[in-house]
């Protein structure tokens, strides 16, 4: 597969996981500074890693959430908490990842993640109504 094919595959997966609105916003905000980086994300993260056959997207979502909690990356965590439902992840499963993170990432990290998840779920509930 060449870079352009990998990019197109990455965009498809990125849209499936994060949603069209998110990807469209990212593409609309391309600039001379970030364009190569955005292409890299689509090509490598989404076109190479998220498409690998070794793990289902559901599992990748749970792992990603756990890693983002450990790294204290709130903006990315918010995005992946929202996107997890697109991969069939339930709120109950997210809660279990948050509980597990308390043990291995620390109570402050888990506490922040619980607060953020509550915000994200409340947003999703408002949008659903």
User: Which three-class secondary structure state does DSSP give residue 34?
Assistant: coil
Segment holding 24, helix H or strand E: helix 20-28
10-residue stretch averages of pLDDT, the chain, 129 residues long: 93 96 94 96 96 96 98 97 97 98 97 98 94
Per-residue confidence (pLDDT) for residue 26, from 0 to 100: 93
Domain of 63 in residue numbering reads as 55-129
Name the burial class of residue 45, with classes exposed (0-12), middle (13-18) and buried (19+) by CB atoms within 10 angstroms of its CB. Answer: middle
Same structural domain for residues 42 and 79? no
Per-residue confidence (pLDDT) for residue 10, from 0 to 100: 96
Same structural domain for residues 125 and 62? yes
CA distance readout (Å), 84 to 1, 19, 45, 80: 28, 11, 16, 6
Rounded Cα distance, 89 and 59, in Å:
8
Per-residue confidence (pLDDT) for residue 20, from 0 to 100: 95
Per-residue confidence (pLDDT) for residue 25, from 0 to 100: 94
Q: Residue 90's domain is classified under what CATH number?
A: 1.20.1290.10
Tokens of 70: 């450990």
């Amino acid at each position: 597969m060449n870079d352009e094919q990998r990019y197109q595959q990455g965009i498809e997966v990125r849209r499936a996981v994060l949603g069209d609105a998110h990807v469209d916003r990212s593409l609309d905000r391309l600039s001379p500074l970030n364009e190569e980086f955005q292409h890299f994300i689509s090509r490598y993260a989404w076109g190479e890693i998220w498409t690998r056959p070794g793990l289902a997207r559901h599992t990748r979502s749970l792992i990603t959430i756990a890693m983002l909690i450990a790294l204290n990356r709130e903006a990315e965590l918010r995005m992946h908490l929202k996107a997890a439902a697109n991969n069939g992840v339930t709120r109950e499963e997210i809660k279990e990842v948050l509980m597990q993170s308390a043990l291995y990432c620390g109570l402050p990290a888990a506490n922040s993640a619980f607060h953020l998840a509550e915000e994200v779920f409340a947003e999703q509930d408002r949008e659903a109504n």
